[in-house]
Amino acid sequence: GAVVSQHPSRVICKSGTSVKIECRSLDFQATTMFWYRQFPKQSLMLMATSNEGSKATYEQGVEKDKFLINHASLTLSTLTVTSAHPEDSSFYICSARSRGTSEPYEQYFGPGTRLTVT
């Protein structure tokens, strides 16, 4: 149980285009999903927290107009990187918190999406 998927696993796009990454909780309902980015050989940095049906909360320094997050259902959150540039190339990982959990720190991680902007 508690499986989180991401699609696509890898994506290459041209500079200036937009790309959407999906994060799905397959066997549970997720009231909260988190988006992280991980640069090569670095740690995960939390970008934003999204709650189903409400606006995402972005961490300091993260451009909300560039990284659009939508959490329209209890099983799906999307991250859209708008007008992507090479410096946006990174590994993007989502995680999800189950609706039924009593432990707010409990998160299940997706396998990640490798974005390369050329």
Partner 1 sequence: AQSVTQLGSHVSVSEGALVLLRCNYSSSVPPYLFWYVQYPNQGLQLLLKYTSAATLVKGINGFEAEFKKSETSFHLTKPSAHMSDAAEYFCAVSDRGGTSYGKLTFGQGTILTVHP
Q: Is residue 62 left, alpha or beta, with left meaning phi > 0 and alpha meaning psi from -120 to 50?
A: beta
Contact flag: residue 44 with partner 1 (CB under 8 A): yes
Contact flag: residue 75 with partner 1 (CB under 8 A): no
Contact flag: residue 46 with partner 1 (CB under 8 A): yes
**Which is closer to partner 1, CB of 45 or CB of 62?**
45
For partner 1 (CB under 8 A), the number of binding residues is 25
Q: φ, ψ for residue 102 (rounded to 5)?
A: -100, 5
Cα separation, 23 vs 7, whole angstroms: 7
Contact flag: residue 111 with partner 1 (CB under 8 A): yes
**Which is closer to partner 1, CB of 65 or CB of 103?**
103
**Which is closer to partner 1, CB of 20 or CB of 114?**
114
Contact flag: residue 3 with partner 1 (CB under 8 A): no
Give the three-class secondary structure for 64: coil
Which range binds partner 1 by CB under 8 A, 12-20, 68-76, 77-85, 88-96?
A: 88-96
**Cis amide leading into 8 (omega within 30):** yes
Residue 50's nearest CA partner among 33, 67, 64, 66 is 33
Contact flag: residue 4 with partner 1 (CB under 8 A): yes
